[in-house]
Structure 1
Amino acid sequence: MMAYLWILFTIVASGGQTLRNALQRDLIAEVGTVGATHVRFLYGLPFGCLFLLIVSTASGTAVPVPTGGFWLWTLGGALAQILATGLMLQAMKSKSFLVTIAYTKTEPVQVAIFGILFLSEVPSPMLAGAIVVATAGVMIMSWPKATADGTARDWTPAILGTVSGGLFGLAAVCFKGGIQSLGLPNFLVAASATLAAGLGLQTLILTGYLIATDRAALIKLFRAWRPSVMAGFLGAFASQCWFAAFALEPVAHVRTLGLVEILFSLAVSHRLMSQITSPREGFGIALLVVGVLVVLNA
């Protein structure tokens, strides 16, 4: 059962993250890009601490005392995730929800490289092939289209989304490094402690930034607490599941399976935003599904 638990965590995380992204996207007009970025951290922190308390109490495992190495890993992940989220939301302002998420999902190739460099996680040939196939599907479905009047394609969302994906990948590797540095036998406590610490650092960093540069946005963020609480909960819950999966499986494996988020995003785009999928995007999705199926059998 434990051998397959990471699959459940990853699928649940992908679904929760899709809904969180949709809620954050809707908050951009009200609180700005930085404010919408901060939602997942400020409103997610109480839930992250609650998850840690529940897991620690239920397992009888004391909350660990982190070392300096843990804080370096977690700070690196926190900063990378802040930048990645901001770039993703900025790209969403000029591109469809589905296609923007597709841009960020070039992440598996980048996370595989980071995993090799920082964690010595070398993917098998079959997994490497699955990553290439799935990422090719993502690139096909997200390639910028020519405009009707023949003007140049807009590459800005593609660049923002791709850099965002790389930063998300770097964040995942750093957070796994933090989880491993704790050396705990209980993977859920290690994952929960890393999540709570990461959210705490992110909340301090972005709250301080907004106090110094845009206090009005911070005030708006507190006033928009009703939709923000749900976005914060979904963000913390999705991250809890991601971190648990990282604790059990190589990061590249987890993030490649996490491409199922594209399918969830497709459903959200159609049902909530009335966005239509083109035949080319459909072919890209088919390649993505093939890659994911290979991952499950790698």
Structure 2
Amino acid sequence: MAFSWILFTLMAAFTQAWRNAFQKQLSHTVDVYGVTLARFIFAFPLAITYVLILYQFDPVQIRIEFSQRYWVCIVIAGLAQIAATALMVQLFKQKNYAIGIGLAKSEAILAALIGVVCLQEHLSILGWLGVLMGAIAVFLLSQGNQQHTGFSISTLMIGIASGLCFAITSLLVRQASLELTILPVFHRAAWILCSVIGFECMILLLFLSIFSRQTLIALWQQCILTVKVSCCSFIASLGWFTAMSIQSVAIVKTLGQIEVVFSLLISAFFFKERLAKTDHWGLLLIVIAAIMVIWA
């Protein structure tokens, strides 16, 4: 169990890279709110199914009591994740796919800072070095092909805002997990997954049903792509939530920056986008940072 968080993090990073790729494709025909909803709409029934299967094969005879603090964490985490996803979709329209993902990965350093300052989390010296190495990698990735496109302050700000919202989501998911310590790790993660995705799905469906039914129609017209986004999102969230129920957010998210490796490969081979030299250095530093946090 001690090192299982590594496997769950790698699973999450890989499937999230593909989820983001499918979201990028969907963003060509569906607006920001629709692409955001695509992440949750089919993931919610999958999350419910996962809880039922988990209890079928590993029944736990413990009465669960969800505290007020738990629900506060769930609601704020859900809202933050909706905002983070919407901002990331905006990133896809600002610069190329890999650079957008690289900017959003500022989440790791932001989660480390907020966790230590506000939530009394602890990181070893090696862990801090890994987080900082990841931050340098994010900076290199944010440069992109500046000599051709020019530095974009709006891209930088949207990327940092997205990373901040993702960091808040991750930290609150961790706090919600700590409210369910009477349960085994997998059961904790399953309930949090179901709670967060369920809240996000219902609030977005309600919003779009009232203000933008055309977006729901557009999603239905792209049903296959929407299913791909939701399935990848479910697997990624399952991996993240389980890993963060075992290990601190900063460590999980720093290792999770390996997602950028997958994203760069998808960018180059799937979207046929050219990468700058700084991207290769950023990729190398992310791998080094991942190794450092594993050792930490």
**Length-normalised TM-score, structure 2:** 0.95
Task: For residue 33 of structure 1, report the CA deviation from its aligned partner.
Answer: 1.0
Structure 1's consecutive aligned runs of 4 or more residues displaced over 4 angstroms after TM superposition are none
Identity of aligned residues (%): 28
What runs of 5+ residues in structure 2 fail to find an aligned partner? none
Q: Quick check: 1:70 aligned with 2:70? A: yes
Matches within 5 A, 1:120-269: 120-143=120-143, 145-146=145-146, 148=148, 153-269=151-267
Using the TM superposition, give the Cα deviation of residue 144 of structure 1 relative to its aligned residue in structure 2, in angstroms: 5.5
Q: Superposition RMSD on alpha carbons, in Å?
A: 1.5
Query: 1:118·1:173 contact (CA, 8 Å) conserved in 2?
Result: no
Task: Check the 8 A contact 2:103/2:156 in 1, yes or no.
Answer: yes
- Offset at 1:98? 0.4
Corresponding position of 2:6: 7
Bigger drift between 15-24 and 179-188 goes to 179-188
Q: CA deviation at 1:207?
A: 1.1
Q: The residue matched to 1:71 in structure 2 has which SS?
A: helix
Given that 2:15 and 2:235 are in contact with CA atoms closer than 8 Å, whether structure 1 keeps it comes out as: yes
1:58 paired residue number: 57
Q: Which amino acid aligns with 2:71?
A: W
1:93 is paired with a residue whose SS is helix
**Counterpart in the other structure of 1:39:** 38
Q: 1:144 & 1:264 partners in 2: Cα distance?
A: 17
The runs of 5 or more residues in structure 1 that have no matched partner are: none
Name the structure 1 match of 2:20.
21
SS of match in other structure, 1:41: coil
Distance 2:128 2:269 in 1: 34
Q: Aligned equivalents of 1:142 and 1:247: distance in 2?
A: 30
- C-alpha separation between the residues in 2 aligned to 1:57 and 1:221? 33
Distance 1:58 1:283 in 2: 45
- For 2:209 and 2:183, how far apart are their aligned partners in 1? 40
Letter in 2 for 1:112: A
Change (3 A) 1:144 1:16: closer
Matched positions, count? 295
Name the aligned partner's letter for residue 34 of structure 2.
G
Q: Deviations over 1:45-71 (max 9, x none)?
A: 111111111112221025834221111
Shift of 1:145: 4.5
TM superposition score normalised by structure 1: 0.95
> Cα offset for 1:153?
2.5
For residue 154 of structure 1, what is the amino acid of its counterpart? S
Question: What residue number does 1:99 align with?
Answer: 99
